[in-house]
Chain A
Amino acid sequence: MHVEIDEPGRKVLLMGNEAIARGAIEAGVDFCSGYPGNPASEILETLAGVAKKLDFLTEWSVNEIVALEAAGAAACAGLRAMTVMKNMGVDVCSDFLMTVNMSGTKGGFVLISGDDPAVHSSNSELDTRNYARFADIPLLEPATTQEAKDMTKWAFDLSEELGVLCMVRTVTRLSHSSGLVSLGPITREERSAEFAPLLGTWTSGSGDYTCMFHDALHGKLKTAQEKFEESQFNWYTGKEDAEFIIITSGTGWLYSAEAVKLLGLKDEVGILKLGTTWPLPEKLIAKHLKHAKEVLFVEEIDPFLEQNVKVLAAELAADIGPIKFYGKKSNHIRSEFGAGVGELDVDTVMRGLTETMNVTYIPRDQDYAEKAEKLVGSYAPNRSMAFCAGCPHRASFWAIKRALKWDGRDGIVTGDIGCYSMAQLPTGFMVLKSMHCMGAGIGTATRFGNLKRYGLDKPVIAVSGDSTFYHACIPALINARWNKSNLLYVILDNKTTAMTGNQPHPGIGIDALGEPSPVTPIEDVCKGIGVEVRKCDPFDIDEATQNLYEMLQTEGVKVIIFSRECALTEAQKRKKKPRVYVDQDKCIGDECGCMRFCTRVLNCPGNIWDYTKGKAKIDEVVCNGCGLCAKLCPAGAIIVEEVV
Chain B
Amino acid sequence: MIGDDPLNIIITGVGGQGNVVASRIIASAAVNEGLYVSVGEIYGASQRGGAVTSYVRLSGEMQYGPIIPRGMAHIIIGFEPIESLRAIGNFGSKKTRAIINPRPIYPVDVLSGTLEYPPVEEVLKAIKELVYGVQVIEATELAKKAGDAVMQNIVMVGCVVGSGLIPIEIETTKEIIKESFAKERVEANLKAFKSGVGEIKGRKAV
Across the interface, which residues of B come within 8 angstroms of A379, CB to CB? 82, 85, 118, 122-123, 126
Q: Which of chain A's residues has its CB closest to B148's CB?
A: A621
CB distance B112 to A380 under 8 Å? no
A window 1-38: CB within 8 A of B: 11-13, 38
Across the interface, which residues of A come within 8 angstroms of B140, CB to CB? 621
Select which of A172, A174, A386, A608 is within 8 A of B49 by beta carbon.
A386
The distance in angstroms between the C-alpha atoms of A607 and B69, with both chains bound, is: 37
Q: List 25 A-B contacts (CB under 8 A).
A: A13-B27, A173-B67, A176-B41, A178-B38, A179-B66, A251-B66, A254-B64, A258-B65, A262-B69, A363-B71, A376-B85, A378-B118, A379-B82, A379-B122, A381-B109, A381-B118, A383-B14, A386-B49, A387-B48, A419-B48, A605-B105, A605-B108, A607-B111, A609-B111, A622-B105
CB of B199 closer than 8 Å to a CB of A: no
Q: Which of chain A's residues has its CB closest to B140's CB?
A: A621
Segment with Cβ contacts to B, from A63-71, A399-407, A471-479, A593-601 = A593-601
CB of A265 closer than 8 Å to a CB of B: no
Q: How far is the CB of A256 from chain B (nearest CB, A)?
A: 9
CB distance B71 to A383 under 8 Å? no
Select which of A179, A255, A383, A622 is within 8 A of B51 by beta carbon.
A383
Q: How far is the CB of B150 from chain A (nearest CB, A)?
A: 8
Q: Which of chain B's residues has its CB closest to A622's CB?
A: B105
CB distance A255 to B48 under 8 Å? no
CB of A345 closer than 8 Å to a CB of B: yes
Q: How far is the CB of B53 from chain A (nearest CB, A)?
A: 11
CB of B37 closer than 8 Å to a CB of A: yes
What sequence of 0s and 1s flags, for each residue 243-264 of chain A, a beta carbon within 8 Å of any chain B beta carbon?
0000000010011011000100
Segment with Cβ contacts to B, from A73-81, A315-323, A366-374, A450-458 = A366-374
What sequence of 0s and 1s flags, for each residue 162-177 of chain A, a beta carbon within 8 Å of any chain B beta carbon?
0000000000111011
Q: How far is the CB of A237 from chain B (nearest CB, A)?
A: 12
Select which of B31, B88, B114, B126 is within 8 A of A180 by beta carbon.
B31
Select which of A120, A176, A378, A596 is within 8 A of B126 by beta carbon.
A378
- Interface size classification for chain A: 35 or more
The distance in angstroms between the C-alpha atoms of A604 and B37, with both chains bound, is: 38
Q: How far is the CB of B104 from chain A (nearest CB, A)?
A: 9
What sequence of 0s and 1s flags, for each residue 574-597 of chain A, a beta carbon within 8 Å of any chain B beta carbon?
000000000000000000000010
The distance in angstroms between the C-alpha atoms of A189 and B46, with both chains bound, is: 41
Select which of B36, B42, B70, B117 is within 8 A of A172 by beta carbon.
B42
Q: How far is the CB of A593 from chain B (nearest CB, A)?
A: 15
State whether A177 and B38 are in contact (beta carbons under 8 Å apart), knowing that A120-B44, A363-B70, A376-B85 are contacts in the complex.
yes
Across the interface, which residues of B come within 8 angstroms of A275, CB to CB? none
Q: Which of chain A's residues has its CB closest to B39's CB?
A: A178
What sequence of 0s and 1s flags, for each residue 61-104 of chain B, a beta carbon within 8 Å of any chain A beta carbon?
00111110111100000000011011011101110000000000
Select which of A120, A180, A621 is within 8 A of B37 by beta carbon.
A180
Residues of B at the A interface (CB closer than 8 Å) are 14, 16, 24, 27-28, 31, 36-46, 48-51, 63-67, 69-72, 82-83, 85-86, 88-90, 92-94, 105-118, 122-123, 126, 129-130, 140, 149-150
The distance in angstroms between the C-alpha atoms of A401 and B110, with both chains bound, is: 22
CB of A91 closer than 8 Å to a CB of B: no
Across the interface, which residues of A come within 8 angstroms of B118, CB to CB? 378-379, 381
Across the interface, which residues of A come within 8 angstroms of B51, CB to CB? 383
CB of A522 closer than 8 Å to a CB of B: no
The distance in angstroms between the C-alpha atoms of A388 and B42, with both chains bound, is: 18
The distance in angstroms between the C-alpha atoms of A2 and B27, with both chains bound, is: 14
CB distance B92 to A12 under 8 Å? no
A window 29-50: CB within 8 A of B: 38-39
The distance in angstroms between the C-alpha atoms of A254 and B63, with both chains bound, is: 9
State whether A388 and B49 are in contact (beta carbons under 8 Å apart), knowing that A176-B41, A380-B86 are contacts in the complex.
yes
Q: Which of chain A's residues has its CB closest to B36's CB?
A: A180
CB distance B82 to A13 under 8 Å? no
Across the interface, which residues of A come within 8 angstroms of B70, CB to CB? 347, 363-364
Closest 5 A/B residue pairs (Cβ)? A121-B44, A254-B65, A386-B49, A376-B89, A38-B44
CB of A643 closer than 8 Å to a CB of B: no
With contacts A121-B44, A255-B65, A384-B108 known, what are 11 further pairs, Cβ within 8 A? A13-B27, A121-B42, A173-B67, A258-B64, A350-B69, A372-B92, A372-B130, A380-B83, A382-B107, A419-B48, A603-B111
The distance in angstroms between the C-alpha atoms of A386 and B50, with both chains bound, is: 7
Q: How far is the CB of B59 from chain A (nearest CB, A)?
A: 11
CB distance B45 to A600 under 8 Å? no
State whether A176 and B28 are in contact (beta carbons under 8 Å apart), knowing that A262-B69, A386-B48, A386-B49 are contacts in the complex.
no
CB distance A38 to B45 under 8 Å? yes
Across the interface, which residues of B come within 8 angstroms of A644, CB to CB? none
CB of A426 closer than 8 Å to a CB of B: yes
The distance in angstroms between the C-alpha atoms of A368 and B91, with both chains bound, is: 12
Q: How far is the CB of A84 from chain B (nearest CB, A)?
A: 15
Across the interface, which residues of A come within 8 angstroms of B150, CB to CB? 621
CB distance B112 to A178 under 8 Å? no
The distance in angstroms between the C-alpha atoms of A427 and B123, with both chains bound, is: 25
The distance in angstroms between the C-alpha atoms of A378 and B125, with both chains bound, is: 12
The distance in angstroms between the C-alpha atoms of A347 and B90, with both chains bound, is: 11
Select which of A39, A176, A255, A388 is within 8 A of B16 by beta carbon.
A388
CB distance A258 to B69 under 8 Å? yes
State whether A178 and B41 are in contact (beta carbons under 8 Å apart), knowing that A364-B70, A383-B50, A386-B49 are contacts in the complex.
yes
CB distance B37 to A178 under 8 Å? yes
CB distance B37 to A179 under 8 Å? yes
Select which of A373, A375, A384, A601 is within 8 A of B50 by beta carbon.
A384
Q: Which of chain A's residues has its CB closest to B106's CB?
A: A608
Q: Which of chain A's residues has its CB closest to B50's CB?
A: A385
Across the interface, which residues of B come within 8 angstroms of A619, CB to CB? 106
The distance in angstroms between the C-alpha atoms of A144 and B71, with both chains bound, is: 24
Q: How far is the CB of A415 from chain B (nearest CB, A)?
A: 15
The distance in angstroms between the C-alpha atoms of A381 and B89, with both chains bound, is: 13
Across the interface, which residues of B come within 8 angstroms of A254, CB to CB? 64-66
Q: How far is the CB of B9 from chain A (nearest CB, A)?
A: 13
Across the interface, which residues of A come within 8 angstroms of B109, CB to CB? 381-384, 426
